[in-house]
């Protein structure tokens, strides 16, 4: 569970004249293949993040698995409009096979869930089950690929492609507007254990989509299936980058002041640090079609301030912003 917290398919090309999806479809994953004979209606999401993508596609899951946060339905603020008045069942903790069986789903979503082979064997007897792709590992699937897969199995592929095209166009526009970011180094680091996310993690991909480079030293030292690496407190050089983003799951801002070598870092001295409060950190960590827009709205001005070349300017990200609205 801690590891998932920390590190923490088929393609369909859409065009305006694209034909309706045909079934059955076959989805490949690390435990084999799953055949979907019709668009899923009662979806149980065991994934910590896939419910965001389902909501973006207009599919409200019958049940979802809470990652963290205190929203009563496990959905963060960027998903509230898409959730509407729906009240999905919220699951917590380890995968509970009996609980899932009682829900009588017609699809079980297991990307980003930590599902084991044993879990899959049991779950796939209940309903068609989508596990993680072997090449991406448990938590490495790009948001585009998850969106396409879930679009395919829920009959919403056209909408999935529209979403992907829109977000990618926005990323391209931001990247083109900031040539100074191209090739500059940046990394997101979990504030608690100096845990850096690599270029294979969605947090790293978010930065590379904006033109930044995750340092080679981070990628080379990577562990936890190549998505995350612990940086020792006595050597912070691998994360001393042009734009350093501290990820805080909530209430840990004071830890920054207890890092003894932080004042020696160029990113500290030159005002290149960004503190991401709980909402922004969660948006970056979910990396869903809903949360990416929220994250871009907030982080682009912070990156502009961190990259302005003026060491006296302050990045306007509050260290007290761990306080959330009611419901979190």
In the listed set 115, 134, 164, which residue is the last one of a domain according to the structure?
Answer: 164
Same domain, 202 and 146: no
Same domain, 190 and 64: no
Ramachandran area for residue 199 (φ above 0: left; ψ -120 to 50: alpha; else beta): alpha
Same domain, 122 and 15: yes
Same domain, 136 and 211: no
Ramachandran area for residue 81 (φ above 0: left; ψ -120 to 50: alpha; else beta): alpha
| Residue 196 covered by a domain | yes
| Residue 66 covered by a domain | yes
Alpha carbons 207 and 186: distance in angstroms, whole number: 7
183 CB-side CA count, 13 A: 2
The residue with tokens 């850096």 is: 196
Q: Which secondary structure element, helix H or strand E, spans residue 25, and what is its range?
A: strand 25-29
Same domain, 121 and 221: no
φ, ψ at 287 (rounded to 5°): 45, 55
102: domain CATH number is 3.40.50.1980
Same domain, 6 and 68: yes
Residue segments in the chain with a per-residue pLDDT below the cut of 50:
1-18, 318, 320-328
Whole-Å CA distances, 307 to 26, 269, 271, 274, 315: 45, 13, 9, 10, 9
Same domain, 213 and 290: yes
Same domain, 132 and 248: no
| Residue 314 covered by a domain | no
Same domain, 216 and 152: no
Which residues touch 311 (CB under 8 Å, ≥6 apart)? 269, 270, 271
Q: Which secondary structure element, helix H or strand E, spans residue 53, and what is its range?
A: helix 50-56
Q: Which of 52, 55, 2, 47 lies closest to 29 in space, CA to CA? A: 47
In the listed set 139, 164, 189, which residue is the last one of a domain according to the structure?
Answer: 164
The residue with tokens 């890092």 is: 259
Q: Strand, helix or coil at 29?
A: strand
Same domain, 44 and 10: yes
Domain count, the chain: 2
Residues 259-297 pLDDT 10s: 999 999 999 999 999 999 999 999 999 999 999 999 999
The pLDDT assigned to 20 comes to 66
| Residue 313 covered by a domain | no
The pLDDT assigned to 29 comes to 97
Predicted TM-score of the model (pTM): 0.89
Tell me, rounded to whole angstroms, the distance of Cα 203 from its chain centroid.
7
Alpha carbons 166 and 33: distance in angstroms, whole number: 30
Q: Which of 240, 238, 232 lies closest to 264 in space, CA to CA? A: 240
Q: Kindly state the tokens that stand for 91.
A: 């699951």
Same domain, 157 and 187: no
Range of the domain at 25: 2-164
Alpha carbons 11 and 28: distance in angstroms, whole number: 11
Same domain, 136 and 282: no
The pLDDT assigned to 178 comes to 98
| Residue 60 covered by a domain | yes
| Residue 6 covered by a domain | yes
Q: Strand, helix or coil at 213?
A: strand
In the listed set 111, 137, 164, which residue is the last one of a domain according to the structure?
Answer: 164
Alpha carbons 35 and 46: distance in angstroms, whole number: 18
């Amino acid at each position: 569970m801690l590891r998932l917290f920390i590190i923490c398919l088929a393609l369909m090309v859409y065009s305006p004249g694209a034909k309706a999806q045909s079934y059955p479809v076959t989805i490949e994953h690390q435990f084999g293949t799953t055949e979907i004979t019709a668009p899923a209606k009662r979806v149980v999401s065991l994934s910590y993040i896939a419910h965001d993508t389902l909501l973006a596609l207009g599919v409200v899951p019958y049940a979802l698995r809470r990652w963290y946060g205190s929203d009563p339905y496990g959905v963060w603020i960027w998903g509230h409009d898409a959730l509407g008045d729906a009240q999905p069942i919220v699951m917590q903790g380890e995968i509970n096979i009996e609980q899932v069986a009682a829900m009588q789903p017609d699809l079980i979503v297991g990307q980003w869930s930590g599902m084991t082979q044993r879990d899959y064997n049991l779950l796939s007897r209940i309903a068609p089950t989508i596990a993680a792709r072997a090449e991406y590992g448990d938590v490495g699937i790009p948001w585009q690929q998850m969106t396409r897969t879930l679009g395919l199995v829920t009959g919403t592929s056209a909408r999935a492609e529209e979403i992907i095209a829109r977000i990618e166009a926005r990323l391209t526009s931001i990247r083109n507007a900031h040539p100074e970011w191209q090739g500059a180094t940046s990394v997101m680091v979990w504030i608690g254990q100096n845990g850096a996310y690599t270029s294979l993690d969605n947090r790293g991909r978010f930065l590379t989509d904006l033109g930044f480079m995750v340092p080679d030293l981070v990628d080379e030292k990577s562990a936890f299936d190549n998505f995350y690496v612990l940086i020792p407190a006595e050597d912070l050089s691998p994360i001393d980058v042009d734009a350093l983003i501290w990820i805080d799951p909530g209430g840990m801002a004071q830890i920054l002041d207890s890092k003894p070598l932080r004042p020696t870092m160029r990113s500290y001295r030159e005002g290149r640090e960004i503190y991401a409060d709980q909402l922004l950190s969660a948006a970056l960590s979910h990396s869903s079609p809903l949360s990416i827009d929220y994250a871009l709205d907030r982080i682009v001005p912070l990156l502009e301030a961190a990259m302005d070349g003026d060491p006296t300017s302050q990045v306007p990200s509050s260290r007290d912003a761990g306080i959330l609205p009611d419901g979190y």
